Amino acid sequence: MPVIRDPLWNNIRVDPSSRRLLDTTVFQRLRYVRQLGLAHLVYPGATHTRFEHALGAYHLAGQTLSNLRETGALAGLAADEPAVVAAAALLHDVGHYPFSHALEELGVPHHEVVSRPLVTGGAVADILRADVAADAPERIYALICGTSASPLQGLISGSLDLDKMDYLKRDALMCGVPYGEIDEDRLMHGMVVIHDPATGQAGIGLRAKSLSALESLLFAKYQMYRNVYWHHAVRSATAMYKRLVERALADGVIDAGALGGFTDEGLLHALESSRSPDAVELLDALRARRLYKRAFEAPAAELPVEDLEWIADDRERTRAAEREMAGRLGLDAGDVFLDFPAKTQMLGLDLPVQMRDGSVQRLTAAGLPGAIDVPRLADQLYRSARWLRVFTASRASMSRQEVAAVLQISI
C-alpha cells in the first residue's frame, strides 16, 4: 500500500480504494481549507489543513479496527463494516466550510449536511459503490451524521470518536503548544464493543482501566479551547470574517449554497467583489492582521449565562446590541462586535464502561462513582474557557455596568 508521511503519525498506509478517494476533486479541496481557520494569525504554524486531519482520522480508524479485530469484537458484524467505517473516517470533513466552523455560527447548514451530496453522489459515491458496497455511500453518510445503527458509530461520532484524538494532538503540535496531550494508545486499546444493559444495543465503549486516558482527552479539549480555539485574537479575527461573509450574503455577492465549495483563499477572493466600501476595508484589515481590540471581556463563570445564550443564535438582537454599544462609545455601527462562543456538549460524555468485574455501567452527565464527576467538572471547565467579549475597531473601553445595561443583565 502507498505510504504517506505525516508529521503527527509518521507513516500512514493508504489502501487502493482510499487512494482513489484521495484523488477526487471533493477530497483534494481539503488541501486548501485550514483546519484551524484564522488561528494562524496567532499561532503561525497553524496552517495545517482538513486534508491531513482527515488522513489522520483514517489512520486511527485503521489502528482501532485492527485492535478490535484482534479481540474478536468485530465478529458478527457485516464483512464490509470495517471498510465502511474507515471510509467514513476519511470523508467525515469533505463538506467543511472555509475557515473551520466560523460560518456555522451564522446559521448556515452544518458541514455534515453539506457533505451529503458529496458522499452519496458523484465520483466519491461511484468509488464507494464499486470498491466497498452498493449501499456504502448512504451508510457512510449516516456514520458522519451520527445517525447510524452500526455498533461502530462511536468511532466516527461520539464521546470517543477518532476525529477528536487526531485534531487535538495535531492542532497542539502545529500550534507549538503543550496542551493537546492525549494517551491515544491507551484509549484505542481500551475501546470495546459492548451491549448497553439499558437498551441492549451494541456500541463502542471503554474498559474501566482506560478512564484515566479519557480524562486526558477531556482536559486536552478544555485547554485547547481556552488557549487556542477561543483565544481572544482568534475570536476577534473570526468575528471580522463572519461579518464579511454575512454582508456578502446579504448583498448577493455570494450564495449560501455555494459556501461549501470554496477554499479559504477562494472565498476571500470572492469577498473582494463586495460593493460595500466598509466590507472592503474590513477585508483589508483582516488580511493585514489589523484585528479589532478588546473593549470588554469576562469569563462565563462570572456571568448569568442563561441570559446570554441569544448572542450565539439571534443575529438581529446581537446586531442591535452592537449598534447601541457603538453609539455609547462614539463609534460607527460596524465598529463593534459582540462575541460569546458556544459549543454544545464541549465536554459531554455518554458511553458504556466495562468494569473490571465484567459488568457494564454508563458514563453520562450523571457521572460514574469513583471515576469522573462529569457534571461539575464539565460545567466548570466550559465556563472557564468561554468568555464574553466586546471587540472594537479602535481601542476603547466599556465598563461592566455599561455592558450589562446594553445586554439587560445583572453582573
Q: What's the rounded mean pLDDT across residues 211-232? A: 91
Grid cell, residue 294, equals 478588546
What integer pLDDT is reported at residue 276 of this predicted model? Answer: 81
Does 324 reside within a domain? no
Indicate if the pLDDT at residue 168 is higher than 70.
Answer: yes
Does 297 reside within a domain? no
CA distance 290 to 285: 5
Q: Is the torsion defined by CA of 391, 394, 400, 402 positive or negative?
A: negative
- The residue range of the domain holding 70 is 1-176+231-290
CA distance 163 to 221: 12
pLDDT digits (tens, 9 = 90+) for 271-319: 998 778 889 999 999 999 999 999 999 999 899 999 999 998 888 999 9
pLDDT digits (tens, 9 = 90+) for 107-152: 888 888 999 999 999 999 999 999 999 999 999 999 999 999 999 9
What integer pLDDT is reported at residue 1 of this predicted model? Answer: 83
To the nearest whole number, what is the mean pLDDT of the chain? 92
What integer pLDDT is reported at residue 375 of this predicted model? Answer: 54
Counting the structural domains of the chain, the total is 1
Does 71 reside within a domain? yes
Does 262 reside within a domain? yes
CA distance 175 to 16: 32
Cβ atoms 38, 147 nearer than 8 A: no
Does 402 reside within a domain? no
pLDDT digits (tens, 9 = 90+) for 382-410: 888 999 999 999 999 999 999 999 999 87
Cβ atoms 257, 114 nearer than 8 A: no
CATH of residue 79's domain is 1.10.3210.10
pLDDT digits (tens, 9 = 90+) for 354-376: 999 989 988 876 666 656 565 56
Does 397 reside within a domain? no
CA distance 203 to 149: 9
Residue 204 pLDDT grade (very low, low, confident, very high; cuts 50, 70, 90): very high
